[in-house]
Amino acid sequence: MSKVDLSVVLAGVRLKNPIVVASGTFGFGREYGQFYDLSELGGICCKGLTLHRREGNPPPRIAETPMGILNSVGLQNPGVDAFIEYELPELRKHDLAVIANISGSTPEEYGIMCEKLSEAGVDMIEVNISCPNVKAGGLAYGTKPELAAEVTAVAKAHAGTVPVMVKLSPNVTDITEIARAVADAGADALSLINTLRGMRIDVNTRRPILKMNTGGLSGPAVLPVAVRMVWEVSCAVPGLPILGMGGVAKGEDAAQLMLAGASAVAVGTACFADPYAPVKVRDELAELAAEQGLARAADLTGGVRPW
């Protein structure tokens, strides 16, 4: 089998392979870095950062569902400054793209974080708009085109030359509407999907398993929703690069997202079952591309032939 060129370019950033790890599922790389060299990965979307340290939500935070999990971790993180001081230098010892994932409760917070991070020199900023906007009365930024556009514009204005990727929520009637708004506001790339909102109830205690009652669904269960949304978004905003994610556990899953329009793919929940999942997905993807006689993995991107 011929050797496939795995490198891809996402919003101007070269990844040596298309496999990135998803925000919140891989911490800042320290833990899974015990299992293999992080340089195996194309990149890492770091755990979601906020301006100040946050302790996150009370436990329980995890519930299992059929081929999925619900989580309500809730942005527990050391804050953007601590990230820059303690985590970024560690990550820089490895050869992978470092993508900082940020959440704010006001547009200003997004702006301040973008400034700090672009100064510190991350490779990309992933703007999580699934968080509630305190000013707009707790309405999630990700569900209203105007709010999503506002955050995007502020992030862009403060990110300097660092590409800004906006992470879309799947809990919307029409994801293309949000995608277009964000694209028009200047996003350099989109990442999708974040988690679908779900719930599980312990039928004996009659309590929701999660202390927050509901949480975000991820894992293989959501893959078909992710493929559909990546395809819709890639049709709606052609040319804007996409980091696809949601339920990827095999090379074939990654290939589906790439064919649907993703330039690169993030692996999240699959890591919990198998720490080596991202590496396996990469290898299986390479094998699949080789079997198809492709010279470059990037040739998969957008290759779906709809009926």
Partner 1 sequence: MPVQQRCTVVEMTPINPTTYWMVLEVGNMVEELGLRAGQFLHVACGEANLLRRPISVALAYPDEPEDTAALIFEVKGEGTRWLARRQVGDTVDVLGPLGNGFAVENGGRYLLVGGGIGTPPLLGYAEAFRQNAVAVLGFRSADRVILEERYREACKEVYLCTDDGSAGRHGFVDAQVRDILEKDKNFTAILACGPRPMLKSVAAVAAEFGVPCQVSMEERMACGVGACLGCAIQIADGTMKHVCKDGPVFDAGEVDWDV
Q: List interacting residues with ligand FMN (CB under 6 A).
A: 22-25, 47-48, 71, 73, 75, 101, 128, 167, 194-195, 218-219, 222, 245-248, 267-270
Contacting residue, 48, 208, 241, 278, with its own copies by CB under 8 A: 208
- In the complex, the smallest distance separating the C-beta of residue 205 from partner 1, rounded to whole angstroms, is 13
45 catalytic? Reply is: no
- The region of 54-62, 134-142, 157-165, 286-294 touching partner 1 under the rule CB under 8 A is 54-62
Tokens representing 89?
């230098």
- The region of 30-38, 39-47, 150-158, 249-257 touching its own copies under the rule CB under 8 A is 249-257
Binding partner selected for residue 231 from partner 1, its own copies, ligand FMN, none, CB under the kind-specific 5 to 8 Å limit: its own copies
Contacting residue, 14, 30, 92, 135, with partner 1 by CB under 8 A: 30
- In the complex, the smallest distance separating the C-beta of residue 226 from its own copies, rounded to whole angstroms, is 8
Contacting residue, 59, 89, 138, 238, with partner 1 by CB under 8 A: 59
φ, ψ at 297 (rounded to 5°): -60, -30
Cα-Cα-Cα-Cα torsion 117, 105, 267, 208, nearest 10 degrees, comes to: 150
Contacting residue, 12, 58, 293, 303, with partner 1 by CB under 8 A: 58
- In the complex, the smallest distance separating the C-beta of residue 276 from its own copies, rounded to whole angstroms, is 19
Instruction: Give the separation between CA 96 and CA 116, rounded to whole angstroms.
Output: 20
Does residue 287 interact with its own copies by CB under 8 A? Answer: no
Please check whether residue 240 is in contact with residue 182, taking contact to mean a CB–CB distance below 8 angstroms.
Answer: no
- In the complex, the smallest distance separating the C-beta of residue 23 from partner 1, rounded to whole angstroms, is 11
Place of tokens 């301006």: 51
Burial of 211 (0-12, 13-18, 19+ CB in 10 A): middle
- The region of 95-103, 120-128, 153-161, 221-229 touching its own copies under the rule CB under 8 A is 221-229
Give the active site residue among 46, 131, 235, 271.
131
Does residue 137 interact with its own copies by CB under 8 A? Answer: no
Does residue 303 interact with its own copies by CB under 8 A? Answer: yes
Binding partner selected for residue 10 from its own copies, partner 1, ligand FMN, none, CB under the kind-specific 5 to 8 Å limit: none
218/263 with CB nearer ligand FMN: 218
- In the complex, the smallest distance separating the C-beta of residue 57 from its own copies, rounded to whole angstroms, is 10
Chain positions contacting partner 1, by CB under 8 A: 24-27, 30-32, 34-35, 47, 55-56, 58-64, 67-69, 71, 73, 76, 209, 219-220, 269, 271-276
Catalytic residue positions, numbered: 131
